[in-house]
């Protein structure tokens, strides 16, 4: 096992010096981030109220620090396939399952963010793990969430990838789960979308009426910041027929050559823990890159690491705002 600390911890960690009155003070960045990362939905609504328009919000997202991480490796002599796994705790149950069961025998690079990481940025941490993986000159880089479970043995994965030319194929999808490798579309919503969303997410709230109320609040924020396009399953009736693709979400396999062509970066780290995967897959399909689907299956526990909650759903809107900013004039008609 190898451990390396990143050099970005320095000023990115929250600093709270004391003034002469022994009162804590924060920068405006800290204050807004505190609202954004709050577990209280009212604080997150105050965060969105602070900005007058989309450009102001995106400027804040771009300037937001990227948090800290450390690299922890479990490696062997085989580096053709390297698995990059972002995790809160490398010794946690999910991370242990990944290294002892799901990906046992493969070179694994954990990117550990730690608990309570004030400026945590998933995209930035994934890019850091991918950059480390590229140092070993692999053929394939697998990016996986830690909250997965084993279905097929890792030998099946290795056998399937050994059949593919990583110079000709840029991305590999597996058999679909409930949350990854599934056909999806990116398009404008139908008028019925708030009702469909409220029904789909009703278990997160006390009742269907609370679910609908929160969904309408979210739609009001999205309208203010000019969100016009949404992702949804291919069979979704909540959004219109639009641009189609395959979503990798929490498990993706990429040719190292493809990532090198993108300057060694997979995700745009302006995104804050939401929609960075959708942004990456939109770019992949719009650029008409080659992909293949293999006979391998892995399962996922949806929301086990970060959970599903009202506050998380509200934070996710920022990702949609930036996603729409990037792609609203580039989606093929």
Same domain flag for 158 and 16? no
How confident is the model at residue 171, as a pLDDT?
A: 98
Asked whether 113 and 67 are in contact (CB, 8 A), the reply is yes
Tell me how many domains the chain contains. 2
Q: CA triplet 171, 173, 177: central angle to 5 degrees?
A: 150
pLDDT for the residue numbered 13? 34
Cα 106 from Cα 83, distance rounded (Å): 7
8-34: string of b/e by CB count within 10 Å (b at 16+)? Answer: beeebebeeeeeeeeeeeeeeebebbe
Closest Cα to residue 124, out of 64, 50, 197, 170? 64
- Domain that includes residue 50, residue range: 2-63
In a shared domain, residues 159 and 269: yes
Residue 118 buriedness (CB in 10 A; 0-12 / 13-18 / 19+) = middle
Q: How buried is residue 246: exposed, middle or buried, by Cβ count under 10 Å (0-12/13-18/19+)? A: buried
Q: % helix / strand / coil in the chain, to the nearest 5?
A: 40, 20, 45
- Is 85 a member of any domain? yes
Q: What is the pLDDT of residue 17?
A: 38
- pLDDT tens over the chain, length 333 residues: 666 555 343 333 333 333 444 444 579 999 999 999 999 999 999 999 999 999 999 999 999 999 999 999 998 778 999 999 999 999 999 999 999 999 999 999 999 998 778 899 999 999 999 999 999 999 999 999 999 999 999 999 999 999 999 999 999 999 999 889 999 999 999 988 888 887 877 666 677 777 888 888 999 999 999 999 999 888 888 889 889 999 999 999 999 999 999 999 999 999 999 999 999 999 999 999 999 999 999 999 876 555 557 888 899 999 999 999 999 888 776
Task: Write down the pLDDT at residue 75.
Answer: 87
Q: Give the pairing type, strands 243-247 and 251-255.
A: unpaired
118 and 265 share one domain: yes
Residue with tokens 């506050």: 311
* Per-residue pLDDT tens over the stretch 186-237: 999 998 888 888 787 766 667 777 788 888 899 999 999 999 999 988 888 8
Same structural domain, 146 and 263: yes
Calpha distance 174→297 (Å, rounded): 6
Residue 238: inside a domain: no
What CATH number is given to the structural domain containing 280? 3.90.550.10
Looking at residue 213, its pLDDT comes to 83
Query: Does residue 317 sit within a domain?
Result: no
The residue among 63, 84, 109 that closes a domain is 63
Tokens representing 70 are 């450390």
Same domain, 142 and 288: yes
Distances (CA, A) of 191 to 237, 238, 270: 10, 8, 30
Which two three-digit tokens encode residue 57?
């919000």
Same domain, 44 and 157: no
Residue 254 lies in a domain: yes
pLDDT at residue 18, as a whole number = 36
Same domain assignment for residues 31 and 97:
no
Helix (H) or strand (E) holding 144: strand 140-144
273: left (phi over 0), alpha (psi -120 to 50) or beta: left
Judge whether 274 lies within some domain. yes
The pLDDT score that the predictor gives to residue 23 is 45
| 211 within a domain of the structure (yes/no) | no
Instruction: For residue 51, give the 3-state DSSP assignment.
Output: coil
The rounded distance, in Å, linking the Cα atoms of 87 and 147 is: 9
Claim to verify: residue 156 and residue 172 sit in the same structural domain: yes
Domain presence at residue 103: yes
Task: Please state, as a whole number, how many other Cβ atoms lie within 10 Å of the Cβ of residue 134.
Answer: 15
Do 57 and 74 fall into the same domain? no
7 with 143, same domain: the answer is no
- Using DSSP bridges, classify how beta strands 298-300 and 182-187 pair: parallel, antiparallel or unpaired: unpaired
Assess whether 25 and 89 both reside in one domain: no
Same domain (yes/no): 28, 127: no
Beta-carbon contacts of residue 24 (< 8 Å; ≥ 6 apart) = 16, 18
Q: Looking at the domain assignment, is residue 242 inside a domain?
A: no
């Amino acid at each position: 096992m190898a451990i390396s600390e990143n050099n970005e911890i320095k000023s990115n960690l929250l600093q709270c010096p004391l003034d002469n009155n022994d009162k804590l003070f924060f920068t405006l960045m800290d204050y807004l981030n505190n609202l954004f990362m709050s577990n209280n939905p009212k604080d997150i609504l105050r965060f969105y109220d602070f900005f007058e328009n989309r450009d102001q919000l995106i400027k804040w997202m771009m300037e937001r620090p990227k948090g800290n991480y450390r690299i922890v490796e479990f490696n062997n002599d085989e580096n053709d396939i390297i698995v990059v796994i972002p995790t809160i705790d490398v010794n946690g149950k999910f991370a242990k399952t990944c290294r002892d069961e799901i990906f046992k025998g493969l070179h694994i690079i954990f990117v550990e963010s730690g608990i309570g990481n004030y400026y945590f940025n998933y995209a930035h941490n994934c890019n850091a793990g991918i950059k480390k993986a590229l140092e070993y000159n692999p053929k394939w880089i697998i990016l996986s969430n830690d909250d997965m479970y084993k279905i097929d043995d890792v030998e099946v994965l290795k056998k399937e990838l050994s059949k593919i030319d990583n110079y000709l194929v840029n991305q590999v999808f597996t058999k679909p789960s409930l949350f990854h490798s599934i056909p999806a579309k990116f398009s404008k919503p139908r008028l019925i979308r708030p009702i469909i969303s409220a029904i789909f997410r009703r278990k997160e709230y006390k009742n269907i009426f609370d679910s609908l109320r929160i969904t309408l609040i979210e739609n009001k924020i999205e309208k203010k910041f000019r969100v016009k396009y949404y992702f949804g399953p291919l069979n979704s009736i909540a959004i219109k027929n639009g641009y189609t693709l395959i979503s990798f979400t929490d498990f993706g396999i990429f040719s190292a050559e493809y990532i090198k062509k993108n300057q060694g970066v997979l995700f745009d780290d302006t995104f804050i823990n939401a929609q960075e995967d959708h942004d990456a897959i939109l770019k992949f399909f719009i650029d008409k890159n080659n992909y293949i689907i293999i006979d391998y299956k892995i399962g996922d526990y949806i929301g086990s690491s970060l959970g599903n909650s009202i506050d998380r759903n509200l934070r996710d809107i920022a990702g949609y705002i930036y996603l729409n900013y990037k792609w609203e004039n580039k989606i093929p008609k």
